[in-house]
Amino acid sequence: MDRQRQYRKGAPQEPIRLMYRVYKYILPEVRSELARWTQHAHSIPDDELKRQALASIATKQFHCEGGAVYAAPYMDQRQVLIPLIVAFQTISDYLDNLCDRSTSLDPEDFRLLHQSMLDAVQPEVELTNYYALREEQDDGGYLHALVKQCRASISQLPGYISVRQELVPLVRMYTELQIYKHIHRNEREAALLNWWEPYATRYAELEWNEFAAATGSTLGMFQLFAVAVNEHTDEAQAQLIRSAYFPYVNGLHILLDYLIDQEEDRIGGDLNFCNYYENDDAVIRRIEYFANTAIKRVEQLENPRFHRMIIEGLLALYLSDPKVREQSEVLNVSKRLMKGSPLMRIFFWVNSRWIRKHMY
C-alpha cells in the first residue's frame, strides 16, 4: 500500500507513469461520472434536449477523458477535479450539440445558452433559464445540475480566488467563439473578423483564424482548475499558465482538431480554421510554430515535464486518428509533422492507436 501511495504522489514525470494513472484511476472515474450524467439525461422531458444531451455524452466521451488527465498530478484531489472537469466539459459538449444541430440560428439564443458556462465559474451569479430564447424549454433541471456541480467542486478549491481572474476571460472568449461560429454560415466569417479586431494588436503574432482556434480549447481552463487545489497558488502562477496555454497549447489543440476534420467539415458546410491557410506548407509551419512555442512556454510552469507530455500527447492523438488516413493531404501533413518525432511522441502515438482499438 505504501509503495502504491508513493507511486501516486506528485506529478508524473514519464509517459508510462502518466498512462498508469490514466488507465487505473482517471478513465474509470470519468466513466462513472458520465454514467451518472447519462442517467440524468435520460430523464429530460423534452425529446430534442434529451437527444442532444445523450448524443453529446455518447460521441464526445473522449473530451472528458482527455480533460481529466489534468487531475493526474493531483491524485489526492481527483475526487474534486474529475467531477468538475467532467461537468464543465459536458456543458461545453451539450451546448455545442444544441448550437451545431440547432433548431435556432439566433446569436442571442446561443449567448444565453453559453451564459451557463460563465455562471458555472462565477458561483455568486444567480442561475437563469438558459433556454428562454428557444423553442425547447424543459430539460428537467439537467443544465442547472451541471452548473451546480461545477460550483460545488469549485467551492472545494482553496486556490480558486487566485486563478479566477485568468480563468473567467478564457471562458468568456470560448463562449463568444461558440456564438459566432454557429450563426448563419454566410455571416460567420464577418462576425469572427469583427470579434478579432480588438485583440489583433495584443496577439500580433497570430492570424485571426489562429486566435479563434485558441479560444476554442478548454485545456487552459482545466489546468487553472487543477492548480487551484493548492491554497498556495498565486495570481502570478495563474498568469504564467494562461500565457502558456493561451494561445499556444490551446491553439495547437484546436488547429490539430480542425486539421483532421477538414473533409468532414467540407461535407457538412462547417467553418474550418485550417482552410484559411494558403497551402499544406503553411499549415505545417504554423502548427510547428504553435507546438514549439508551447514547449518553450510550459518550461516556465510547475511540472514542465507533465505539460510537455500534454503537448506531445496532443500531437500523437490527433495525428494517429483514423480520419488522417482517409484524407491524402492531411496524411501528407501528418507524416511531415511526425518526421523526426521524439520518443515521447512516438510512445503516445502507439498508445493512442491502442486505446482506439481496444477501448472504443
DSSP string covering 132-174, please? TTSS----TTHHHHHHHHHHHHHTT-TTHHHHHHHHHHHHHHH
Q: What is the DSSP string of 100-138?
A: HT-S---HHHHHHHHHHHHHHT-TTSPP--TTTTSS---
User: Whose CA is closest to 319, among 309, 333, 329, 308?
Assistant: 333
Are 77 and 16 within 8 A, CB to CB?
Answer: no
| Angle ∠(87,92,98) on CA atoms, nearest 5 | 120
Q: Check residue 201 and report its DSSP letter.
A: T
Same domain, 13 and 80: yes
Neighbours of 58 (CB within 10 A): 11
Same domain, 216 and 240: yes
Same domain, 58 and 119: yes
Same domain, 182 and 152: no
Residue 60: CB partners within 8 Å, gap ≥ 6? 93, 96
Count of residues making up the chain? 360
Residue matched to cell numbers 514525470: 13
Same domain, 119 and 77: yes
Neighbours of 94 (CB within 10 A): 26
Q: What is the pLDDT along the chain (360 residues), one digit of tens a residue?
A: 333 443 346 889 999 999 999 999 999 999 999 999 999 999 999 999 999 999 999 999 999 999 999 999 999 999 999 999 999 999 999 999 999 876 788 999 999 999 999 999 999 999 999 999 999 999 999 999 999 999 999 999 999 999 999 999 999 999 999 999 999 889 999 999 999 999 999 999 999 999 999 999 999 999 999 999 999 999 999 999 999 999 999 999 999 999 999 998 888 888 899 999 999 999 999 999 999 999 999 999 999 999 999 999 999 999 999 999 999 999 999 999 999 889 999 999 999 988 887 776
| Angle ∠(152,156,157) on CA atoms, nearest 5 | 120
Last residue of a domain, one of 127, 156, 185: 156
Single pTM value for the model:
0.94
Last residue of a domain, one of 118, 133, 156: 156
Same domain, 181 and 39: no
Give the structural domain span for 54: 1-156
Same domain, 134 and 169: no
Same domain, 218 and 252: yes
| Angle ∠(79,145,169) on CA atoms, nearest 5 | 80
Are 133 and 109 within 8 A, CB to CB?
Answer: yes
Same domain, 2 and 105: yes
User: For 23-51, b where at least 16 C-beta lie within 10 A, e where not — what string?
Assistant: eebbbebbeebbeebbebbeebebebbbe
Q: Check residue 248 and report its DSSP letter.
A: I
Residue 357, C-alpha cell as written in the block: 482499438
Residue 19: CB partners within 8 Å, gap ≥ 6? 351
Last residue of a domain, one of 107, 128, 156: 156
User: Whose CA is closest to 26, among 68, 84, 63?
Assistant: 68
